[in-house]
Amino acid sequence: MDTLHADLLVIGFGKGGKTLAATMGRAGKRVVMVEQSAKMYGGTCINIGCVPTKALIHRASERPDGADRAKWYAESVAWTAELTSAMRGKNFRMLDTLDSVTVVTGTGAFLDEHTVEVVAGDDRLEITADTIVINTGAQNVIPDIPGLRDSPHLVTGTDLIAGPDMPHRITILGAGYQGLEFAAMLSSYGTEVTVLESTPRILPREDDDIAQAVRDILDGEGITFVTSARVTRVEDTDDAAVVHYEHDGAAATVTADLVLAATGRAPRTDGLRLEAAGVRSTARGAVEVDAHLRTNRPHIFAVGDVNGGPQFTYVSLDDHRIVADQLLGEGRRSTADRVAVPFTVFMTPPLARVGLTEAEARATGRPVRVAAKLIADVMAMPRASILGDTRGLMKFVVDAETDAILGAAILSVDAQEIVNTVALAMRSGTTAGTLRDSIWTHPSSTEALNEVLATVVR
């Protein structure tokens, strides 16, 4: 069996791991990057996550009038595959061109706390390392519903974005962020979409008014929602799946070409043999880490989705900063430094949020003011009219005593950009009044802050 030694071994080519590998390689450290599939160089985001899904959403809006929907869908999937292939190659070259970094393709598993075995076909390689970083990401969760896991009509988001055939009908299990993003995207291509959600309303983590505003938009796109639905089984026919569910005490069914499981993603630790390294995991299966992302073995770290933190590629990037500071810096940076981390659901228009919801803020017992306004009523935001989409609303939760911004929900064109300004304000201690009275370019979406933050609605 071949052997190799490294200063740093990274298992998984995701954002945090690849950036750390490059950083350490440029610092002259001997680095080995292990990735089980050449189709995943660069990680989840560029291959099966953020980039392809957002590319398909964008392509839907670019469909020429009169173009065949199914053909445009197939062309969009092909175009997206070319985009991700180019990005995958760029990511591979980012590491492969560094003399001190070696990329190994194969499946890695621990033999002991300093040794990982990599298997590729009949080939075996043992890699020992002074420092090891686990960066294996997350995987789709398939709910335990009779008939679902064995159904040939079951798809995950990963499967869906790779298939060239536009589904005529799809049933989506779950009305959370992932489910709604796929629902909006597929509906915009012309797919008939039904979403089944077990809780009483969509987006159960959001305030009622935000969830309702999102639903109003998606209802207008022709998406069918069934909330408080308990899926009981999935039955296959020759060319479709029949999803059986209970709603309001009655049995019902919906038939679809595909059934998309959008019920979350769980840390990917299967096959790593963590026990061989003595690495502990949490009750939810994540690699257990401290605020510096160290496991209970001080030389082993875990970054990205596998450590159970927020499943965003930009959080994984920040994970790399924390570990790099441990290995090359002063070791002060930690997850406790993170404040106001935003996120966006890329429906049309997008929903972006940061900080506390109104319900969460009021639950703290502090005095709260809320400013909110429908986008259609914001006179100081002509950009929405210019782009032809005045749907949505902006909502800000403010501490009534300090004027600090506690949270914001922005459902509008350019929400994915506005939220970053708000998040920076929250991190820097900039008050709601300062944002309200600031000078913004015109016509822009940011200038809506002037008008919305001037209005306290309750």
Write out the catalytic residue numbers.
442
C-alpha 131/C-alpha 11 separation (Å) is: 11
* Residue type, position 63, single letter: R
Contacts of 299 by beta carbon, 8 Å cutoff, 6+ apart: 113, 114, 130, 131, 132
Dihedral, 6, 7, 9, 15 alpha carbons, nearest 10: -130
Residue pair 42/51 in contact (Cβ under 8 Å)? The answer is: no
Residue pair 148/234 in contact (Cβ under 8 Å)? The answer is: yes
R_g of the chain computed on alpha carbons: 24
Distances from the Cα of 373 to the Cα of 43, 168, 391, angstroms: 39, 37, 11
Cβ-based neighbour number of residue 388 at 10 Å:
7
Cβ-based neighbour number of residue 7 at 10 Å:
17
C-alpha 293/C-alpha 303 separation (Å) is: 7
Helix 177-189 vs helix 69-96: crossing angle, to nearest 10: 130
Listing DSSP states for 120-189 in one string gives: ETTEEEEEEEEEEEE---EEE-----TTTTT-TTEE-HHHHTT--SPPSEEEEE--SHHHHHHHHHHHHH
